[in-house]
Structure 1
Amino acid sequence: MGRIAVIGAGMGAMAAAARLAVAGHRVAVYERTETYGGAVRRFERDGFAFDTGPGLLTLPAVWRDLFIKTGKEPLEDCAELVQVDPSSRHLFADGTQAALPNASRAGVVDALDEALGTGAGGRWGDFLVRAREAWDRTRRPLLEEPLWPNWPVLAEREPYPAVPHKRLLRTRRAATLAEIGAWELRDPRLTALLESHALAHGLDPRVTPASAAVLPYMEHAFGTWYVRGGMRELARAVYERCLARRVEFHFGTEVTGVLEKDGRAVGVEVAEGSSHPSGRDGGLVAEADHVIAGVRPARLRELTQHRLDDDGDVRPDTGSRPRRFTVLLALRGPREAGAVHRTIVHAPDRTAELDSLLSPPSVPARPTVTVLRPDDPALRPDGDHESVVLSAVVASEAGQLPSERREALADELVTAAEAVIPGLRERILWRETEDGDSGGVSAPSLAAGEGRFLHPANTTRLPGLYRVGGWSHPGGGLPHAGMSGALVAGLIVEGPEFRGSQ
């Protein structure tokens, strides 16, 4: 079989590598850092451990499928997955709060009726029914198949259904998430609940198509999961599965270019001092029949001078994308009984928060803050301590945030979390901040929106060169990264006529 060179050891890249190795290919992964996992990172200090990337998992079937297709041991034998219940608790701007059961429509309806008033749960439940219709219409073309050559059909068609309007005696179709909130949910707290799913991916609900209703639906339908020991354990399991399938990893090895010959990608060139031993014309190279790039679009453009897309190809929004800012808290004192794994503290001024995402304001609005408190002994030195992760999506700024801004923003997140964790400030032993990559948060691919919410196809105009990971089809997020790996492997094994799993 063929030789495969993979640039980067992110989750999507490793998913592709494992599948291709099982298919008989010789796979080598070149990663410029010293570890695997991409955005699925971990920070450790003084016996505390923290996930600094994704903290929870939806749609675990994607990763279960990877383990089924690449070996005898299922995912559950390699990593312990547990359902998070309640799935989340929400603290709204008016002081009300609601805890939502995991993967239970009836339970969520009852919880919202009790917390927000009779009728609120019913409106949310009806919304989930319509969101399922959007999911059914888009699941296969957006997640399970390579991007269609006639992708504009996806860009033009809004899959979220129209809703009958009793007073107008006609149906009305929402074009954005904000319109769903205003027309169908009719409660600022339900609107905040809906829009928090978009904000988590750096999306402004005022311009995000209504098709993004699939984001809360995925969480509702397939549940919210945690990997015991931290989400980094999922990355470890995938890495070890790659090793078991004899995938080669070269860490500390920076790829400096994609080699081309006769109009085709034929390998990669790596920097001097890398771990790869072969050389040609004074440079270090790795020849390959196929090259898979698990890197950001700007980085891929640096690696090849070849034009990778046609004029008619997807043109996603390339403007400045919001970034994720994270505060890691080492706390003295045990986690109190009844503490919830995930709490979302909504912003006091939703409009100001959305406006602040567009550009760094002179006086930033307090963002919506996610508080993660996993009850996991592996993440703390002993039962008398607790590790907590606070995160928010904020406006992108050039380079890393200045130290004064970082500390001020960290204080804002801690202040928000005080509503969740009793005596928080007195319990803090130390804190660390993680400033997300200035490249911004990558959202999942979405239908409608004139194609601005789609991602470039996994294939490129350069034969033999493929894209994988959160910045290619089908977009960002752990489930989508795994799907991109499956799509790339299918395209290489079965050829350009591959149409996804049946």
Structure 2
Amino acid sequence: MGAMAAAARLAVAGHRVVLYERTATYGGAVARFERDGFAFDTGPGLLPLPAVYRDLFLKTGKESLEKCVDLVQVDPAARHVFADGTDLLLPGSSRAGVVDALNTALGPGAGDRWGDFLVRAREAWDRTRRPLLEEPLRPDWKVLAEREPYPSVPHKRLLRTRRARTLAEIGDWELRDPRLTALLESHALAYGLDPRNIPASAAVLPYMEHAFGTWYVRGGIRELARALYERCLARRVEFVFGAEVTRIVEKDGRVAGVEVAAEIAAEGGGFTEADHVVAGIDPVRLNGLTERLLQDDGDVRLDLESSRPGRFTVLLALRGAREAGAAHRTVVHAPDRTAELDHLSHRPDNDDLVPLTATVLRPDDPALRPDEEHESVVVSAVVPTETDWLEGDLAERRAESLVTAAEAAVPGLRERLLWREVRLPEAMSPPTLAAADGRFLCPSNTTRLPGLYLVGGWAHPGGGLPHTGMSGALVAGLIVEGPEFRGSQ
């Protein structure tokens, strides 16, 4: 998605753009599975911050995003089922509505504490939005790494006054309710982040959803990829599918083009000359395609050598109509927070099948089911990717545990189940975060090889649909305007 976002903008700016894709189709993780009249998003199921794609479609053609896809806001934003049985229906972007819902479901004062937290989270968002998301990574990026933008509340601990440095400490010290903590931390868990280790600046993740809403594209989020692909075609971007780039060619100290696997030479393989190369792959793979070191010890670098969590997904085909008023998204929280976080952090002797926080998506969308007497449901949870999911029946047992969790969201699920499809996880890249000595920043969109750029979830400003779209805008700006580009105004 980041590569297509850059391609469309560059084509509008007058560049001839050829996009080489290793697989047989466009969209990357924004994929789709179909069977027996059922259809499912196998990647992201919701779109936060749609303004990123509104801007992309505005800048690349006459038809707006809303003319190309049917975009609807999800309201209520989510249903949350907590381990103690508490059932919370959280409204959309209305702060007063959220506060009232929390006070009613969790007890007086809970909503007020969450509302006060959102005010502080907004301050963190205002401090980081432009330098962290809308501008290329600054040469003095350590400024972003050293300053914690979240204005935490002073907390007396062991005769000392301290402020929250991690997302978990915000929950412990400011929210003071395990259910509010679970609500807060679910936004980090969605990206495979351990709230005990990530900076307090991660407060911007729940704030983004609260402030800008959560959106769905009718027909599935795959329709967003389809619309972007068609926009690229309309701007005369050329696509070559089944084309694996095997080398990035350098000449006279700058990029000169790419070499593509010989087996597709008859269809445009071999060497292709280029003034600029934009790579939508992770930096480890990219380093293997070049003959020079693209980063040194002074650069931001992702630790890709260690395992990153991924999303384990189960697709459910159900008989019977979706009940009226069912929530589009339900988060079923894990009963043992510590066990879940230790599992994701690969602590020794931790059970591979510890219960996990499950997200259940039930879109009311006729395009995803054979008829009104059936329903398609997607259940997912974040798991370690280093697990050997092909060993024995481990994947089947994990799928069974997720179906069990989903029963809290879908009435009569097991009696309605026709079949299920399991999708094994691939490593995720989270959005970039400020503070924490830069451990949650992503590599710059520029590299040490002039003319070579990084785009997508493994590059600044990180993973997630909005962030990959932003990366496309940043790369296009750097190519069109040069190193002096400082982001859109």
3-state SS, counterpart of residue 180 of structure 1: helix
Q: Report the CA distance shift for 1:485/1:170 in structure 2 as closer, same or farther (over 3 A).
A: same
Provide the rounded CA distance (Å) in 1 between the counterparts of 2:386 and 2:161.
42
3-state SS, counterpart of residue 388 of structure 1: strand
Equivalent in 305, 308, 311 of residue 324 of structure 1: 311
Aligned position for 2:420: 431
Provide the rounded CA distance (Å) in 1 between the counterparts of 2:258 and 2:142.
33
Aligned position for 1:290: 276
Provide the rounded CA distance (Å) in 2 between the counterparts of 1:258 and 1:191.
46
Equivalent in 80, 84, 92 of residue 74 of structure 2: 84
Please tell me whether residue 498 in structure 1 is matched to residue 459 in structure 2.
Answer: no
The letter for the 2-side match of 1:305 is: E
3-state SS, counterpart of residue 14 of structure 2: coil
Please tell me whether residue 241 in structure 1 is matched to residue 211 in structure 2.
Answer: no
Equivalent in 359, 364, 373 of residue 353 of structure 2: 364
Q: TM-score, normalised by structure 2?
A: 0.97
Count of residue pairs brought into register by the alignment: 486
Equivalent in 18, 34, 42 of residue 52 of structure 1: 42
Q: TM-score, normalised by structure 1?
A: 0.94
Q: Report the CA distance shift for 1:410/1:482 in structure 2 as closer, same or farther (over 3 A).
A: same
* Alpha-carbon contact 2:155-2:163 (below 8 Å) kept: no
Displacement of 1:362 in angstroms is 3.9
3-state SS, counterpart of residue 174 of structure 2: helix
Aligned position for 1:163: 153
* Alpha-carbon contact 1:316-1:455 (below 8 Å) kept: yes
Provide the rounded CA distance (Å) in 1 between the counterparts of 2:193 and 2:408.
25
Aligned position for 1:152: 142
3-state SS, counterpart of residue 447 of structure 2: coil
Equivalent in 288, 296, 299 of residue 310 of structure 1: 296
Please tell me whether residue 190 in structure 1 is matched to residue 188 in structure 2.
Answer: no
3-state SS, counterpart of residue 141 of structure 1: helix
* Alpha-carbon contact 1:162-1:172 (below 8 Å) kept: no
* Alpha-carbon contact 2:295-2:301 (below 8 Å) kept: no
3-state SS, counterpart of residue 453 of structure 1: coil
Provide the rounded CA distance (Å) in 1 between the counterparts of 2:380 and 2:156.
41
The letter for the 2-side match of 1:387 is: S
Aligned position for 2:126: 136
Please tell me whether residue 441 in structure 1 is matched to residue 428 in structure 2.
Answer: yes
Please tell me whether residue 201 in structure 1 is matched to residue 191 in structure 2.
Answer: yes
Provide the rounded CA distance (Å) in 1 between the counterparts of 2:191 and 2:395.
21
Provide the rounded CA distance (Å) in 2 between the counterparts of 1:166 and 1:207.
21
Please tell me whether residue 104 in structure 1 is matched to residue 94 in structure 2.
Answer: yes
Please tell me whether residue 387 in structure 1 is matched to residue 367 in structure 2.
Answer: no
Q: After the TM superposition, which residues 468-483 of structure 1 pair with which residues of structure 2 at under 5 Å, given as runs?
A: 468-483=455-470
Aligned position for 1:3: none
Provide the rounded CA distance (Å) in 2 between the counterparts of 1:353 and 1:226.
29
How many percent identity over aligned positions?
76
Structure 1: gaps spanning 5 or more residues: 1-10
Displacement of 1:387 in angstroms is 0.2
Please tell me whether residue 221 in structure 1 is matched to residue 211 in structure 2.
Answer: yes
Query: Over aligned residue pairs, what C-alpha RMSD do you find?
Result: 1.6
Equivalent in 457, 475, 484 of residue 488 of structure 1: 475
The letter for the 1-side match of 2:294 is: L
* Alpha-carbon contact 2:120-2:151 (below 8 Å) kept: yes
Provide the rounded CA distance (Å) in 1 between the counterparts of 2:358 and 2:478.
39
Displacement of 1:396 in angstroms is 2.1
Equivalent in 174, 177, 181 of residue 164 of structure 2: 174
Aligned position for 1:7: none
Structure 2: gaps spanning 5 or more residues: none
Provide the rounded CA distance (Å) in 2 between the counterparts of 1:490 and 1:399.
41
Please tell me whether residue 402 in structure 1 is matched to residue 402 in structure 2.
Answer: no
The letter for the 2-side match of 1:287 is: E
Displacement of 1:435 in angstroms is 0.6
Q: Report the CA distance shift for 1:344/1:14 in structure 2 as closer, same or farther (over 3 A).
A: same
Q: Bigger shift: 116-125 or 309-318? A: 309-318
Aligned position for 2:405: 416
The letter for the 2-side match of 1:33 is: T
